[in-house]
Amino acid sequence: MSSFVNSSIGKKFFMSITGFFLMMFLVVHLSINLLLLFDDSGNLFNQGAHFMATNPLIKIVEPLLALGFVLHILYATYLTLKNQKARPVNYKKADLSKSSSWASRNMFVLGTLILIFLVIHIINFYWQLKVSHTVPGVMVDGVEMENAYGLVAGLFKASLIYCLIYITGAVFLGIHLTHGFWSAFQTIGWNNDIWRKRIEFVGKVFAILIAVGFSIIPLYFLIKF
Amino acid sequence: MSEKILKEIIVKVWRQKNASDKGRFETFTVNNISTDTSFLEMLDILNYQLVEEGKSPIVFDHDCREGICGTCSLFINGRAHGPDDDITTCQLHMRKFKEGETITVEPFRAASFPVIKDLMVDRSAFEKILHAGGFVSVNTGGVPDGNAIPIGYDDAEAAMDAASCIGCGACVATCKNSSAMLFVSAKVSHLARLPQGKVEAARRARAMVSKMDELGFGNCSNTGACEVECPKGISIANIATLNREYLKAKIAE
Burial B82-105 (b: 16+ CB within 10 A, else e): bebeebbbbbbbbbbbeeeeebbb
**Contact between A86 and B25 using a beta-carbon 8 Å cutoff:** no
φ/ψ (deg, to 5) at B87: -135, 160
Sort out which chain A residues have CB atoms less than 8 A from B245's CB and list them: 189
Query: What confidence score (pLDDT) does residue B140 get?
Result: 84
Q: How far apart are CA B230 and CA B224, in angstroms?
A: 10
Q: How far apart are CA B139 and CA B121, in angstroms?
A: 36
DSSP string, B126-157: HHHHHHHH-S----SSPPPPGGGS---HHHHH
**DSSP-derived pairing of the beta strands B102-106 and B5-15:** parallel
Query: What confidence score (pLDDT) does residue A141 get?
Result: 87
Q: How many Cα atoms within 13 Å fall on the side-chain side of residue B112?
A: 30
Would you place residue B1 in the very low, low, confident or very high pLDDT band (cuts 50, 70, 90)? Answer: low
| Domain segments of chain A as ranges | 2-87+105-224
Query: What confidence score (pLDDT) does residue B253 get?
Result: 82
**Closest chain A residue to B241, measured at CA:** A189
Query: What confidence score (pLDDT) does residue B116 get?
Result: 97
Query: What confidence score (pLDDT) does residue B139 get?
Result: 80
Q: Which of B21, B19, B39, B20 is nearest to B30 (CA)?
A: B39
Whether A106 has its CB under 8 Å from any CB of chain B: the answer is no
Q: If you average pLDDT over every residue of chain B, what do you get?
A: 96
Fold of the CATH domain A2-87+105-224: 3 helical TM bundles of succinate and fumarate reductases (1.20.1300)
**Closest chain A residue to B208, measured at CA:** A7
Distance (Å) from the C-alpha of residue A131 to the closest C-alpha of chain B? Answer: 37
Q: If you average pLDDT over every residue of chain A, what do you get?
A: 95
Q: Which of A46-50, A190-194, B140-144 has the lowest mean pLDDT?
A: B140-144
Q: Mean pLDDT throughout B78-99?
A: 96
Please say whether the beta carbons of B103 and B93 come within 8 A: no
Please say whether the beta carbons of B78 and B104 come within 8 A: yes
Domains of chain B listed by start with CATH number: 5-117 (3.10.20.30), 124-252 (1.10.1060.10)
Whether B106 has its CB under 8 Å from any CB of chain A: the answer is yes
φ/ψ (deg, to 5) at B8: -150, 130
Query: What confidence score (pLDDT) does residue A130 get?
Result: 86
Query: What confidence score (pLDDT) does residue A78 get?
Result: 97
Q: Which of A126, A119, A118 is nearest to A49 (CA)?
A: A126
Q: How far apart are the first and last CA of chain A?
A: 56
Distance (Å) from the C-alpha of residue B143 to the closest C-alpha of chain A? Answer: 34
Query: What confidence score (pLDDT) does residue A1 get?
Result: 63
Query: What confidence score (pLDDT) does residue B83 get?
Result: 94
pLDDT greater than 70 at residue B194: yes
| Between residues A43 and B138, the one the model is more confident about | A43
pLDDT greater than 90 at residue A26: yes
Distance (Å) from the C-alpha of residue B223 to the closest C-alpha of chain A? Answer: 5
Query: What confidence score (pLDDT) does residue B145 get?
Result: 87
Write the residue in A7, A10, A87 that is nearest to B110 by C-beta.
A87
**Contact between A86 and B111 using a beta-carbon 8 Å cutoff:** yes
Sort out which chain B residues have CB atoms less than 8 A from A197's CB and list them: none
Please say whether the beta carbons of B193 and B187 come within 8 A: no
Number of other residues whose CB lies within 10 A of the CB of residue B41: 16
Q: Which of B224, B221, B7 is nearest to A15 (CA)?
A: B221
Query: What confidence score (pLDDT) does residue B143 get?
Result: 83
Write the residue in A12, A79, A89 that is nearest to B109 by C-beta.
A89
Of all residues in chain B, what percent carry a pLDDT higher than 70?
A: 100
Residues belonging to chain A? 225
- Cβ pairs bridging A and B (under 8 Å): 141
Query: What confidence score (pLDDT) does residue B240 get?
Result: 97
Q: How far apart are CA A151 and CA A129, in angstroms?
A: 9
Q: Mean pLDDT throughout B26-53?
A: 97
Please say whether the beta carbons of B63 and B71 come within 8 A: yes
**Closest chain A residue to B230, measured at CA:** A99
Q: How far apart are CA A190 and CA A192, in angstroms?
A: 7
Write the residue in A6, A9, A86 that is nearest to B178 by C-beta.
A86
pLDDT tens-place string over residues A44-96: 999 999 999 999 999 999 999 999 999 999 999 999 999 999 999 999 999 99
**DSSP-derived pairing of the beta strands A143-146 and B75-76:** unpaired
Would you place residue A225 in the very low, low, confident or very high pLDDT band (cuts 50, 70, 90)? Answer: confident
**Contact between A99 and B106 using a beta-carbon 8 Å cutoff:** no
**Contact between A85 and B210 using a beta-carbon 8 Å cutoff:** no
